[in-house]
Chains A and B, each alone.
Chain A
């Protein structure tokens, strides 16, 4: 191994895992349902965890997870390396879908209402919390620690909260340009902490 700067053993293990994943995915592309089951077993915890962290309601997360896997199955043959790794491609589909759903559904269901039921409170929309979320977050916490509070806020609202950058700007009372920069810098910060893409 020549790479002794990057984060340690995990990366090596990841590389091996990615090779397994690539082989499994190649069979999925040929229509193997058995391989798809393997793909599910390899990827579902992370994919579902991502969806759950965005939508936060466990039943909704499960529903979206199912939709995403069906989509992955249908689209598998259309994956190509320029869309990123298989995992990144799947996560992109999952995240997009989770965000879409948060924007359309969650606003309807997460409101405090007046007793009389006629007048809805304009309460914050993102209040559900997924209890199934594992506590195994030290790494994320450490990763996010590297970001400034401001970047953390912007990234969290946009990526995990499902807010558009325009909404983030509104929430934080900042110009859109500033928010764009913070989201981008925040993600770049995460990238450098994760030691990826360098």
Chain B
């Protein structure tokens, strides 16, 4: 409680929970030192922001200007007392009072029993740390250096396909396959996806990695990868799908998965 000053960084980083934030707002009202620190940290962060500027999609401008012309401005005087300074009236935005932990996975009993990979709980700490690394990379430019080079190689490899990268609904997600790193790029709007890796593990002798588009639980073959290393697999017809999954199949692929063992899967 006496330690309120120490929360100033978390406050500025929006890393307090709602209760703490209110507490700190109250503290701010009476602590000039913290007010000054909040002020200067926020100004500094605006400057840091100059280094990750990213122009919004061009159409957003018209959309916003259209939106505000129908909205009247609030009067200068705030009707509510002091403490409400940071609590903006925003009925549309839900304030999650607490962050929900991922739902506890019931032990996968009757479903599938993969020999490795998906069935057993993965090291939570190291996956959290992997997330941390990804986040850190954002601070350093939004996309990991590794992904940047992946993406550049996409552009270099296939200029025509590369405009997938410009799809407005493009999602990019990292994944792993048998210990190797993958990147999934999916645009449902374009109905296209790309799975790319620079260090894909070898599928094994007389084996292939087969990528499946999952539509309503039914897998349809999307691409085959006969070797590891640097690979790019383009997949069409993902529009109606919900996920991409990868299995290890006999060389040349299978009309339907021959194994229940999903090596990698990404929902989109």
Q: Which residues of A contact B (CB under 8 A)?
A: 14, 29, 31, 33, 36-37, 40-41, 44-50, 52-53, 56-59, 61-62, 65-67, 69-71, 73-78, 82-85, 87-88, 91-93, 95-97, 99-101, 103-104, 107, 109-141, 143-144, 152-153, 155-168, 170-173, 177, 179-181, 183-188, 190-191, 194, 196-198
Cα–Cα, bound, A158→B132 (Å):
10
Cα–Cα, bound, A119→B260 (Å):
14
Contact of B245 among A37, A115, A172 (CB under 8 A): A115
The yes or no answer to B1 lying at the interface (CB within 8 A) is: no
> Is B105 within 8 A of A136, CB to CB?
no
Q: Interface readout for B1-43 with A: 1 if CB under 8 Å, 0 if not?
A: 0010011111011111100000000000000000100011111
> Is A137 within 8 A of B52, CB to CB?
yes
14 contacts between A and B (CB under 8 A): A45-B55, A65-B56, A69-B64, A70-B67, A78-B74, A114-B111, A129-B137, A130-B138, A134-B54, A137-B52, A137-B140, A152-B139, A157-B135, A165-B10
> Is B50 within 8 A of A127, CB to CB?
no
Q: Which of B44-87 contact A (CB under 8 A)?
A: 44-57, 60-61, 63-65, 67-69, 71-76, 78, 85-86
Contact of B142 among A133, A139, A153, A194 (CB under 8 A): A133
> Is B245 within 8 A of A75, CB to CB?
no
Cα–Cα, bound, A83→B43 (Å):
11
Cα–Cα, bound, A177→B6 (Å):
8
Besides A119-B108, A123-B122, A177-B3, 13 other A-B contacts (C-beta < 8 A): A59-B168, A69-B64, A77-B73, A77-B75, A78-B74, A91-B49, A112-B175, A113-B265, A116-B111, A119-B106, A135-B141, A140-B139, A157-B132
The yes or no answer to B116 lying at the interface (CB within 8 A) is: no
> Is B92 within 8 A of A67, CB to CB?
yes
Which of B93-101, B203-211, B220-228, B229-237 participates in binding chain A?
Answer: B93-101
> Is A113 within 8 A of B267, CB to CB?
yes
- The residue in A49, A61, A73, A112 that gathers the most chain B C-beta atoms within 10 A of its C-beta is A112
Contact of A156 among B46, B106, B135 (CB under 8 A): B135
Residues of B near A125 (CB, < 8 A) are: 102, 131
Contact of B51 among A121, A126, A136 (CB under 8 A): A136
> Is B71 within 8 A of A194, CB to CB?
no
Q: Report B130 CB to chain A, min CB distance, Å.
A: 6
> Is A73 within 8 A of B260, CB to CB?
no
> Is B262 within 8 A of A171, CB to CB?
no
Do A46 and B15 contact each other (CB < 8 Å), given the known contacts A78-B76, A111-B267?
no
Q: Which residues of B contact A (CB under 8 A)?
A: 3, 6-10, 12-17, 35, 39-57, 60-61, 63-65, 67-69, 71-76, 78, 85-86, 88, 90, 92-96, 99-100, 102-103, 105-106, 108, 111-112, 118, 121-122, 124-125, 127-132, 134-144, 147-148, 151, 165, 168-175, 185, 214, 217, 243, 245, 260, 262, 264-267
> Is B54 within 8 A of A133, CB to CB?
yes
Cα–Cα, bound, A33→B67 (Å):
11
- B90, closest chain A residue (CB): A71
Contact of A140 among B51, B125, B266 (CB under 8 A): B51
Do A77 and B76 contact each other (CB < 8 Å), given the known contacts A36-B68, A88-B46?
yes
> Is A167 within 8 A of B173, CB to CB?
no
Across the A-B interface, give the 7 residue pairs with the lowest CB-CB distance, nearest first: A133-B142, A197-B40, A184-B9, A124-B131, A137-B141, A161-B135, A191-B44
Residues of B near A157 (CB, < 8 A) are: 132, 135-136
- B64, closest chain A residue (CB): A69
- A176, closest chain B residue (CB): B10
Residues of A near B96 (CB, < 8 A) are: 100, 103-104
Cα–Cα, bound, A66→B92 (Å):
13
